[in-house]
Structure 1
Amino acid sequence: MFGVATGPDLLRLLAVPVFAWAAARDLRTRRVPNWTWYPLVAVGLIALLWDVLTIGDLTGVQRRLFAVQTVLSLGFVAPLGYFFWRIGGFGGADAKAIITLAVLFPVYPTYQVLGGTYPVYGASLGVFSFSILSNTVLVGLLYPAALAVRNLPQGTFTPAMFVGHPVSLRDVPTAYGRLLETPDGFTRSGLDIDALRMYLRWRGISFSALRADPQRYRGTVPVDANDPGDGSLGDGTIDEDGPVDPVDDDPWGAAAFLAEHSAYGTTPTELREGLSTLSESDRESIWITPGIPFIVPMLAGLVVALAFGDVMFAGLSAVGI
C-alpha cells in the first residue's frame, strides 16, 4: 500500500506510538493500564488474519515458513512473557507487552522507505517478536554502564553505582525503585519503595513522622489500620496517626502488615531492615536502584528491530557463528 508496505505491516506500525506512550508513562508512574494492550492485540489479530487471507500469493515454502514462524511467536514468545510474570521476573504490564508483540509481529515486516528496504538485517529464524526481545535484552545490558558513568562525577566508588543512584532521604517516599542499603550495608534485595508507601498508608503516618519518632512505631501496630492501596504516588499518604497497641515479637508490625497485604512479595525481614535503615540513617542521601521499566528498552528494541533487524544475530554472523 502506498508503495511502502503491505496493509498488515502498515497496521503493525501503530505499535510504535503506543509503546512510546506506555514507556513514558512507565517511567513517570511505573504503572501502565491494562487497557493499553487490548487495541494493539486486536490490531495484531486483524493484521494476522489479513496475512492469512493473502497467503495464497506466496509459494508453498513461504507459506510453510509463515506458519512455523507464527506458531513459534504465539506458542513460544507469548508464553515466555507469561512465564516470567508468574515467577516474578516481569510485572504484569511487561508480560502483556510481550504477548502483544508476539501477536503483532510473528514474522518480519518489510518497509520501502526512500529507496531502502527495512529492516536491513533479517535473522535466519525469522520470528520478528523474538528479534525485538533479543534487542531489548541488549539495550538493557547498557543500563549498568550508563548508571556508572552518571555516578562517576560524585567520586563515590561502590557496587551500588552500577545498579542505582543516591537520592535525598526526604525524597525517598516520592521515588520509585528499591533500597540498595540495609543496616548491614549494600544489598540487591532491599525494600521496595512501593511497599514503603503501602506501609506508611497502612499506619496512617508520614515519612517524616516515622523518622521523627521511630521508637513509637518500631514496637507497635496500629489499632485501626488503613487500606494501604497499591503503593502508587497517586494514593498519597493518610496522615492520621491513631491509637497503637504494643507488640514485642513483631518489630515495626511488619508481620502483621504483610499477613494482610502482599506488598509486591516483600518479606517481614526486608520491611524491617528497610524501615530501620531509613529511620536510623543520619546521612542526607541513600542509594536506591530505580530499575528500568522493561517497556522502555522494549520500545528501543522495537525501533531498532524495525530499522535494522536483529542486532544479536547480526553480531553472531559477523564473527562467523
Structure 2
Amino acid sequence: MRVFGIATAADLLRLLLLPGFAWAAYRDIRTRRVSSSLWYPLLAIGALAFAIDAAAAFPFDDYAGRLFLVRAGFSLLFLIPFSFLAYRMAAFGGADMKALVVLAVAFPTTPQYVVPLWILPDVTWLHTVGFPAHPSALGVAAMSALTNAVLFGAGYIALLFASNVVAGRLSPAMFVGRWTAVDDLPEVHGQIIRVDGLRPVRGLDLDALRMYLRWRGTTLAAVRAAPDAHRDPASVGETHPPTDGAVHDGPRTDGGTGDVGPTDDTGGFEFPDAADDAVATEPESVTAGDASEPAGAEDPWAAERFLGDIEGSAYGTSPERLREGLERVTSEDALWVSPGLPFLVPLFGGLLLALTYGDALTVVLGALGLV
C-alpha cells in the first residue's frame, strides 16, 4: 500500500539511505576514508525495508511473491559474495564492499515512486510521474546501481585519457595517470607511476609517502630542499605517529599550518603547461647504493627503519619502493600519478540514476543493438 499515494513504506524508508551514501561519496573524494560506523545504521534501515517487503510477499505462493524471492535471492546470493570476492582481490576497498552489501540488502527489488508535478488551478486533476522511468527487466535496483557505477567509471577513464591527449601529454601512462606537479602531492590521492618501456608501472602510494613524512615530522618541501641530508638515516631524530596517510588526517606534509584542504574546483591539481611536460622516467639523481650517499648509509632515507617502526605495511610499500619514490619526488618537478577512482562516488551516482531513470547499461546495449 502506498503512503500518501507516493510509495510504499519500505520504499520511503529506502530514501533515508541516500544522505548516507552522499556523505560516503563526499568523504571518499576528500580523504578516501569512510568510517565503518556509517554502514551499520544504513544496513539496519535496509534490513527493515527488506523485512517489510518480505512480510508483504509472504507466503510467496503467488507470482508476485515468487518474483520477490527470485530478485531477493539474486541480490543477496550474487551481489554480496561478489562484493567480498572483489574486496579479497583488491578490486574494491573495504568501504566499497560494505556499500555494496548495504545496497544488496536494501534494494533487492526496484522501488517505485509516484511524484506529483503540479496541480491545476481548479484542482480538478493532479499530474504525476513515476520513477524510475525505465526500470531494468531484472528488477534489482542494487544491480542497476552497480552497472551504472561501472559505466560512470568507464566514462571517468575515457575523460582522463582525453584530457591527457588534448593537453599533449602523450605517454603510455596517459591511460591511467595524471601529470601532476610534485608540490601538489600532499593533497593528492593515488600512486606514482613510472614508465617501463611501453608499460606504466605503479610505484609509491602517496598515502605511504604522507605516513613517512609524518613519521619523520617533516614536510615534502623540506625534503625537496635538502634531499642529501634527509637521505642520511642518521638524520632521523624523534619520530611521530604516521597516521594512516589520509590527506586531511594528522600534520600537513606540505609545509602548511592549517588542516583545511583545497577549495578550488580542481581539488588542488595544477598541471604544468604541455610545452614544459616531460614523460616521467627513472630519476637520474642519486639512488640507493650509489657512492655519493653519506658514508655509512646502510639504510638510505631510513626506509627500513620506518617500515619496521610502524604497524602494518604502509599499503604494501617495500623499502626499495619507498626509496625510489623519494628519489623521484626530490629530483623531479612533475610526474605521473594514478589517481585511482573513489568508487563510492560513481556508486552513489549509479544509485541515483537507478532510482530516477533505471538501468543505463541496458539502454546503452540496446542502442548498440546488443540486447
Q: Provide TM-score, normalisation by structure 1.
A: 0.87
Q: Cα gap change, 1:163/1:187 in structure 2, threshold over 3 Å: closer, same or farther?
A: same
Task: Decide which of 321, 326, 335 is 1:270's aligned counterpart.
Answer: 321
Match of 2:151 in 1: 138
Q: Cα gap change, 1:187/1:272 in structure 2, threshold over 3 Å: closer, same or farther?
A: farther
Residue correspondences, number: 314
Matches within 5 A, 1:139-178: 139-178=152-191
Report the Cα distance in structure 1 between the residues aligned to 2:297 and 2:199, rounded to whole angstroms. Answer: 28
Q: Cα gap change, 1:42/1:146 in structure 2, threshold over 3 Å: closer, same or farther?
A: same
| Preserved contact between residue 60 and residue 66 of structure 2 (Cα < 8 Å) | no
Structure 2 counterpart of 1:235, one-letter code: G
The answer as to 2:285 corresponding to 1:234 is no
Write out per-residue CA displacement over residues 289-315 of structure 1, whole angstroms, 9 at most, x where no aligned residue: 222200111011111111222222334
Matches within 5 A, 1:1-321: 1-56=3-58, 60-114=62-116, 115-181=128-194, 187-220=200-233, 222=236, 224-232=238-246, 233-237=248-252, 248-259=297-308, 260=310, 261-281=312-332, 283=333, 285-317=334-366, 319=369, 321=371
Task: State the secondary structure of the residue aligned to 2:174.
Answer: helix
Report the Cα distance in structure 2 between the residues aligned to 1:223 and 1:84, rounded to whole angstroms. Answer: 41
Report the Cα distance in structure 2 between the residues aligned to 1:106 and 1:227, rounded to whole angstroms. Answer: 43
Report the Cα distance in structure 2 between the residues aligned to 1:304 and 1:24, rounded to whole angstroms. Answer: 17
| Preserved contact between residue 172 and residue 195 of structure 2 (Cα < 8 Å) | no
| Preserved contact between residue 182 and residue 273 of structure 1 (Cα < 8 Å) | no
Would you tell me which structure has more helix in proportion to its own residues?
1
The percent of aligned pairs where both chains have the same amino acid is 42
Report the Cα distance in structure 1 between the residues aligned to 2:56 and 2:227, rounded to whole angstroms. Answer: 68
| Preserved contact between residue 25 and residue 32 of structure 1 (Cα < 8 Å) | yes
| Preserved contact between residue 172 and residue 198 of structure 2 (Cα < 8 Å) | no
Report the Cα distance in structure 2 between the residues aligned to 1:237 and 1:117, rounded to whole angstroms. Answer: 49
Q: Which has the larger radius of gyration?
A: 2
Q: Cα gap change, 1:68/1:46 in structure 2, threshold over 3 Å: closer, same or farther?
A: same
Q: Cα gap change, 1:184/1:275 in structure 2, threshold over 3 Å: closer, same or farther?
A: farther
The alignment yields a C-alpha RMSD, in angstroms, of 2.7
Match of 1:242 in 2: none
Q: Provide TM-score, normalisation by structure 2.
A: 0.76
Structure 2 gap segments, 5+ residues each: 117-127, 256-293
Report the Cα distance in structure 1 between the residues aligned to 2:154 and 2:114, rounded to whole angstroms. Answer: 31
| Per-residue deviation, 1:205 | 2.0
Write out per-residue CA displacement over residues 125-176 of structure 1, whole angstroms, 9 at most, x where no aligned residue: 3322112111111110001221233344533222333323233222212222
